[in-house]
Chains A and B, each alone.
Chain A
Amino acid sequence: MDSREIKWGLLILFIVLLGYLLPYTVFTETPHWYGSFLLWSLLALAIIVINYLFTRNWGE
């Protein structure tokens, strides 16, 4: 793994950790769409963008 891979990898790991921690702490008392539902949706979108940027020059 080179430094670029490590940087992106850590970013993904951080997002995954947020996906575990926030719903079980900050959002336990937010029974609305803008609680855990929104959080997980935004994190998933972030993952899509990250993968897009990370792999953008594959095969060129």
Chain B
Amino acid sequence: MANKNSEALKQPLWVNNPVLVQILGICSALAVTAQLKPAIVMGLSVTVIVAMSNVIISLLRNTIPNRIRIIIQLVVVAALVTIVSEILKAFAYDVSVQLSVYVGLIITNCILMGRLEAFAMQNGPWASFLDGIGNGLGYAAILVVVAFVRELFGSGTLFGFQVVPQCFYEAGYLNNGLMIMPPMALILAGCIIWYHRAKNKDLQEN
């Protein structure tokens, strides 16, 4: 049993990553990654919400009528997202302005519905909690990698601090403005999937 729980936590981090393998939650993963800070805040918010909603649904799983389960899941998630959004507005206002509608869009993030449907409806609260944490962190990891590359090459900064030395700019180095634009997020994600599938051969399509 302990083994199964640790699998629930570890699998989604790389081998069965929700973004790379199941292609869930792409919308927000790409939109908030122009800089590292909002990407990390977003990753943590999603982790907290997936874990909490997994626990709640897993506790309720035997009392939810099958026909209206989607609406119940949505209401639980929406309530949690409202709480997180109010907390962000209170304690990290500038990040919540940067994230704009994408905090609200965590409600329709497919990772949440996917985990609730596929895991929390069949498993106990503790396993569901670990599964939520694992999937949230797997999602956050991709966000951080994409945001790292985009911020470094797009604006020459990390967390808003300049890391590309000034002498580079004086020698004629320019920031790649395309990195901050939406298309580059998609192409980067494509390249990460390419690398991931090259390492995990059984995922390749014929």
Tell me whether A and B are bound partners. no
Hey, which bits of chain A sit against chain B, CB under 8 A? none
